[in-house]
Amino acid sequence: MNQIERRIQELASFQLGQKKRYIRAVRRKVVVPNRRYSWMLFEHPADTEPLDTVVLDVNQQEALQIDRTLAETFKDTLLLCVWERIAPAA
């Protein structure tokens, strides 16, 4: 289980009672290409402000693997990604 999955489950836990939140949309943003990515968690797909943000230091392949895992685990959650072009290594 990666940190994004863990945070989504923490927000939806019964221990929070009335304060629990359901994540219905996840957007990935490139902070530093091929080095740092952020996943913004939204309660509603039309929201402009994220409920929470998880930032991880991972490369592009790891970020794509996290996206795939999220899509498989949370099938009813809308996953939006910002794709970036990777320049060839010099």
Q: Which two tokens stand for residue 43?
A: 């309660």
> Which of 58, 13, 20, 12 lies closest to 39, judged by CA?
58
CA-CA-CA-CA torsion for 80, 74, 24, 83, nearest 10 degrees? -10
pTM of this structure: 0.82
pLDDT, position 81: 66
Instruction: Kindly report the length of the chain.
Output: 90
pLDDT, position 59: 93
Q: Can you tell me the distance from the alpha carbon of 70 to that of 88, in angstroms, rounded to the nearest whole number?
A: 28
pLDDT, position 9: 92
CB 21 within 8 A of CB 9: no
